[in-house]
Structure 1
Amino acid sequence: MENLIYLEYAVAGIIRYWLLNSDYKQTIGDRVEISTPLNSWRKVTEGAYLYNEGINPYVGDNFHETPLGLTVFDKMISHIPQWIGIIFIVCDLVTAHVLYHTAQIFMSELVEKDKYAKDTEALLLKQSDLVLPPVYVASAYLFNPYIIFSCVGQTTTVFANLCLAFTFLLMIKGHRLACCSVLALATLQSLYPATLLVPASIYLAQAERTSSLEGRQSLRASSFILTAVTFIAALLLLLYISSELAGGWEFLHATYGFILNVPDLRPNVGLFWYFFTEMFENFRLLFIYAFQINAALLYLVPLTLRLHGEPMLLAASLTALMAVFKSYPSLGDVGFYLALLPMWKHLFNYMQQGFVVGCFFLITSVMGPIVWHLWIYSRSANANFYFGVTLAFATAQIFLVTDILFAYIKREFSLYHGLHREVNGKTTKLVLE
């Protein structure tokens, strides 16, 4: 199995290296589905140029990376420009390897411990069911076109995915300080990962054991507080370092302010750009609040209440919802959470929308560039056509998230109530609507 994984790494690395040195690199990097104002490498190079010329890159509307990111990227561009492509490839491969180990640990913990109904033996996971999902996770990341194009386009989403992958790994290992530090770094870059503090707190609390039930409850409460304090302290420290590097706090408006206010309405695979292009200015603030609450907070409480016993599924669900509803999403964000899904391979038999979702993903991925060409170059279409594709793409993702959550609920219900159910003497089938 290890040899197979290393072979996959080699093949995936070769594919990325070939595309990075091909004529397709610039075309891929210019695609609006891949590059956004927040992750574009072209924006990074412009910011680094202004920084080296002694001009504040945060004045105006050109640069939106954090000062910490600017410092690192400037060093890369100035000292090792010939290795930048290799760095992107290595970071992508490391992300896949981290996700592979995360899946291995998760599958080893996925043991049926509760007392279930008598006729549910067929539903219980066997040891053979726990071997292949980690390989599928690595493969889903390494060979997903969304991830490959994000790497070839040299978007900073590659580094964001690396931070998220380490957050998942450190969370499942129970390393509080390291997990909170990496999560703070991910939050510093794109703000929305702050919601992952909730599943991380639950995981870290569950990792701590005590002998008595009362002691355990008090320990969990203190564990939640300690995790939150650690995360906030790490984030404040990173913000302070960023302010020192930038010589002030102007970067907050150019980074977090840019994410929250959505001033750049160039098309992407998200939903913000079209609505705010058509929105009357008088109502803009209201809808900014509505969209941002929907992206960050609306689903957090209900999902936490329902999935507090499955913090990894909660974290994956929140990551998926971030990729759908954030202000400047890209295909690299979508590819990351898609790679996590094989960890719940045992739920696939309960999913009902797999074929529909697969067709939606395939059709929208093909139609997006076509409709863009018709709109921008041929002038035979308009913004409504392209938004229709992005709306269908977002709908497919929502169908996927709800389907996997319903599959989890149906399997859980079957485990506790048995497979054979009768109503008025007739066999019934469980259907969630």
Structure 2
Amino acid sequence: MHPIQLETVAIAATLFTRLAIPFLWPSVKTYLEDETVLFSTLITSHKSLEEGIFFYLNNFNIYDGGVVHTPPLLIYVIAEFFKDLQWLLWPLIDAIICYNIMSICKKFSRNTLQPWVIGLVYALNPIGVMENISKSWLAFHSLFVVLTFNSSLKQDWIATGLTLSLASYLNLQSIFLLIPLTKVSTLLNFTKIFLTFIMSSTALYFISYNIANKSNLFIYSTYIINLSFTKIAPNLGLWWYFFTEMFEFFIPFYNKVFLIYQVIFIIPTTLRLPYEFAFIVSVGLLKFGNSYAELSDLVLLSSLILTQSFIFPYLRIPFISILMLLMAIILAPIFYSLWINLGSGNSNFFYAITIVYNLGLANLITDFTWAVLEWEFKLDEKNKDVKKVGHF
């Protein structure tokens, strides 16, 4: 088959898997939307989104009561255009991500895997399928991060600034992806990205302000609560257990420490690595320090790493990272159920396995970074040998 036909098959497989499973097994859809801690959080859950849609359609203040944490524009778009088509919207998002992942792969001729192979891996990734069925609205954030990366590689600076502003609108920490974008091209091109980002973000604020009944309450409910972690709830991240056990007096200080730790490594990463690698590692660092973590973080990071398949031979401990992540993904729902549903376990069991998950994520990021450095070193050595042969 022609590569374009195979890429079409990958996109079709993405749609089919996301549409068929909820249709054939409705109980799976119900469980993933309502009961699991792995695929959504109290901030990004479909329940919270539905609550916001209900408030909006009944002319209530969306953020009264403090149960809705979805950005106003997302609530407006889904309520007005996709209220009865949500079963199709999320699979379409994944199909667009799959297409863009394959498009990114084509930008790197040195890749050892064909784009359609990467697309098919994304389509058939069971974690990605379950994440999509759970209808966490963080899927929209993943979409705009991938679009930002693809647009920057195409040197479409206006689209890069626009998509990054949308990604930052949904998850404020994404604003730090401006740092690796400083390496993408000349100062003039980055200025275009930055100005587009500022203008788009300003427009998004005023649109949200009007949707939220001319109130700034949405800023606290969607952004400040994410940064301050005032709603402590179990998730795959490292924050919740620390802040549950900590004396209230120390919380403001350690909250700032955790936030700084989340972004402090992005600058040296950007200074040392080429743009495409700096962007991917920066996404990983932001996801690793996420206060309300879920498995969509892993799906996004692994998808971006797959676009650099020529790096795979240089990975040192890929199997250790994969095994740690698989063990955590399998045991986390079991330990959570033992703690919350059966009462025969406690929070220590669940937190221990989330530490394993985050260690696996950290291993994946550091192993990828080391592989990039080793690839650069061997490429430099090869170029030196070529120059020596040419000289003599």
TM-score (norm 2): 0.92
Which residue of 1 is the match for residue 117 of structure 2?
Answer: 136
Q: State the distance in 1 between where 2:269 and 2:139 align.
A: 27
Report the CA distance shift for 1:181/1:12 in structure 2 as closer, same or farther (over 3 A).
Answer: closer
Task: Find the residue that maps to 1:202 and give its secondary structure.
Answer: coil
Within 5 A, what are the aligned runs for 1:288-327?
A: 288-295=255-262, 297-307=263-273, 310-327=274-291
TM-score (norm 1): 0.83
How far apart are 1:228 and its partner, in Å? 2.1
Query: Does residue 386 of structure 2 align to residue 386 of structure 1?
Result: no
| Amino acid across the alignment from 2:256 | Y
Please provide the CA RMSD for this pair: 1.9
Task: Find the residue that maps to 2:183 and give its secondary structure.
Answer: helix
Equivalent pair of 1:29/1:153 in contact (CA under 8 Å)? yes
How far apart are 1:76 and its partner, in Å? 3.9
How far apart are 1:187 and its partner, in Å? 0.4
Which residue of 1 is the match for residue 390 of structure 2?
Answer: none
How far apart are 1:410 and its partner, in Å? 1.4
Which residue of 2 is the match for residue 196 of structure 1?
Answer: 177
Instruction: Name structure 2 gaps, 5 residues minimum.
Output: 386-392
Equivalent pair of 1:188/1:238 in contact (CA under 8 Å)? yes
Q: How many aligned positions are there?
A: 379
Q: State the distance in 1 between where 2:121 and 2:289 align.
A: 22
Equivalent pair of 1:98/1:169 in contact (CA under 8 Å)? yes
Query: Which of 50, 54, 62 is the aligned partner of 1:49?
Result: 54
Query: Deviation digits for residues 265-312 of structure 1, max 9, x if unmatched?
Result: 1111111111111111000000110111112x21111101101xx211
Query: Does residue 33 of structure 2 align to residue 29 of structure 1?
Result: yes
Within 5 A, what are the aligned runs for 1:210-229?
A: 220-229=186-195
Task: Find the residue that maps to 1:266 and give its secondary structure.
Answer: coil
CA radius of gyration, larger in: 1
Query: Which of 152, 177, 198 is the aligned partner of 2:158?
Result: 177
Provide the identity percentage.
26
Query: Does residue 234 of structure 2 align to residue 234 of structure 1?
Result: no
Q: State the distance in 1 between where 2:37 and 2:334 align.
A: 13
Equivalent pair of 2:321/2:360 in contact (CA under 8 Å)? yes
Which residue of 2 is the match for residue 374 of structure 1?
Answer: 338
Query: Which of 100, 103, 106 is the aligned partner of 1:101?
Result: 103
Q: State the distance in 2 between where 1:258 and 1:251 align.
A: 10
Report the CA distance shift for 1:222/1:418 in structure 2 as closer, same or farther (over 3 A).
Answer: closer
Report the CA distance shift for 1:11/1:280 in structure 2 as closer, same or farther (over 3 A).
Answer: same
Q: State the distance in 2 between where 1:67 and 1:24 align.
A: 29
| Amino acid across the alignment from 1:11 | A
| Amino acid across the alignment from 1:250 | L
Q: State the distance in 1 between where 2:189 and 2:144 align.
A: 23
| Amino acid across the alignment from 1:306 | R
Q: State the distance in 1 between where 2:11 and 2:192 align.
A: 38
Equivalent pair of 1:43/1:62 in contact (CA under 8 Å)? yes
Equivalent pair of 1:76/1:84 in contact (CA under 8 Å)? no
Query: Deviation digits for residues 303-332 of structure 1, max 9, x if unmatched?
Result: 01101xx21111111111222211112111
Instruction: Name structure 1 gaps, 5 residues minimum.
Output: 109-124, 206-219, 422-433
How far apart are 1:418 and its partner, in Å? 5.3
| Amino acid across the alignment from 1:273 | W
Query: Deviation digits for residues 366-404 of structure 1, max 9, x if unmatched?
Result: 111111121112222111110111111010111111111
Query: Deviation digits for residues 122-166 of structure 1, max 9, x if unmatched?
Result: xxx5xxx55x34223322322222221111111112222211121
Query: Which of 250, 265, 283 is the aligned partner of 2:250?
Result: 283
Equivalent pair of 1:201/1:228 in contact (CA under 8 Å)? no
Equivalent pair of 2:37/2:333 in contact (CA under 8 Å)? no
Task: Find the residue that maps to 2:69 and give its secondary structure.
Answer: coil
Runs (4+) of structure 1 exceeding 3 A deviation are: 221-226, 417-421
Which residue of 2 is the match for residue 59 of structure 1?
Answer: 64
How far apart are 1:222 and its partner, in Å? 3.8
Within 5 A, what are the aligned runs for 1:68-83?
A: 68-76=73-81, 80-81=83-84, 83=85
Query: Which of 286, 297, 302 is the aligned partner of 1:333?
Result: 297
Which residue of 2 is the match for residue 250 of structure 1?
Answer: 217
Moved more, 227-236 or 144-153: 227-236
Within 5 A, what are the aligned runs for 1:412-431?
A: 412-417=376-381
Which residue of 2 is the match for residue 112 of structure 1?
Answer: none
Which residue of 2 is the match for residue 38 of structure 1?
Answer: 43
